Amino acid sequence: MDAALTAFLTQRPTPEIAAALLGKQLQLTTATGQLTAWITETEAYLGAQDAGAHAFKNHQTTRNSALWQPAGTIYIYQMRTQFLLNIVTQAAGVPECVLIRGIEPDRGLAQMQQNRSVPLQNLTTGPGKLMQALGLDKTLNNTPLTVATLNLALTPVRQPRHIVAGPRVGILNKGDWTTVPLRYYVAGNPFVSQSKKRDQDQQNHGWQPSTISGGNDNL
DNA sequence: AGGGTGATGTCCT
DNA sequence: GGACATCACCCTT
């Protein structure tokens, strides 16, 4: 694992990591070229103490064993018919992670639309949708980033103008953990799940304009 | 708003 | 071995 990436994913609490991931880039190498996308929405899951997390009470199973691996390990699990992408944070043995819930396509948009044939505004606005667009299943589960065809790049980066924190999606009847604001998204970005059109910034997608320069030949 | 999908884990018989 | 819940999405009303 790349030293800078390990530092990024271990040297502060997981909620801060989840917020800092907004504007970082996912990069997937495929047979037909590279797919890249900016992270727009995340959720933090805080391990054994977190009633909303798979690692609650430190219960390790076949499905969630990746959570106990070192920072930067990919954790992918299946929910109904969908696959969901998480990145493990903190030292090995600490089962915390960040769920990737939204991405803004950058390079390889045509390939993503071929993988998932829906209008652009519905392409990557949710954790299952973005995995369809990337063409990923559970194959990369329990694999380290950078070793896998999927990588997390710390540069280039886009800077959110404003980050919104709120309750996580789909966490019900979990006491205080139901409402704790561990979901983060780029305010005004159209590639955020459940975002309303009137709240979207169609000009800059919620990014600092000075950080948008070049690179994006699709949107 | 509501139902179908259908992998995986947990709690029960 | 079965009933039930789950970090979604799609389609129909």
The model's pLDDT over A190-207, given as tens digits with 9 standing for 90+, comes to 999 999 999 999 999 999
Percentage of residues in chain A with pLDDT exceeding 90?
93
Does at least one atom of strand C sit less than 7 Å from the CB of A99?
Answer: yes
Contact A210, A216 (CB under 8 A): no
**What's the confidence (pLDDT) of residue A217?**
47
Task: List bases in chain C with any atom under 7 Å of a protein Cβ.
Answer: 6-10
Whether the CB of A82 is less than 7 Å away from nucleic strand C comes out as yes
Residue with tokens 């103008």: A161
- Cα torsion A58, A130, A111, A160 to 10°: value is -110
| A94-135: pLDDT as tens digits | 999 999 999 999 999 999 999 999 999 999 999 999 999 999
CATH number assigned to the domain covering A3-211:
3.10.300.10
A137 CB neighbour count, 10 Å cutoff? 12
Q: Residue A16: is its pLDDT beyond 80?
A: yes
**Strand C: which residues 142-201 of A lie within 7 A (CB)?**
168-173, 193
State mean pLDDT over A154-159: 96
Q: CA at A59, C1' at B11: how many angstroms apart? A: 15
| Residue type at position A117 | S
Q: In whole angstroms, give the CA distance from residue A161 to residue A145.
A: 28
Is A80 (CB) below 7 Å from strand B? Answer: yes
- Strand C within 7 Å of which CB atoms in A 1-20? none
**A57 Cβ contacts chain B strand, under 7 Å:** no
- Burial bucket for residue A109 (CB in 10 Å: 0-12, 13-18, 19+): buried
Contact A44, A95 (CB under 8 A): no
Asked if residues A133 and A124 have their Cβ atoms less than 8 Å apart, the reply is yes
Contact, A117 CB vs strand C, < 7 Å? no
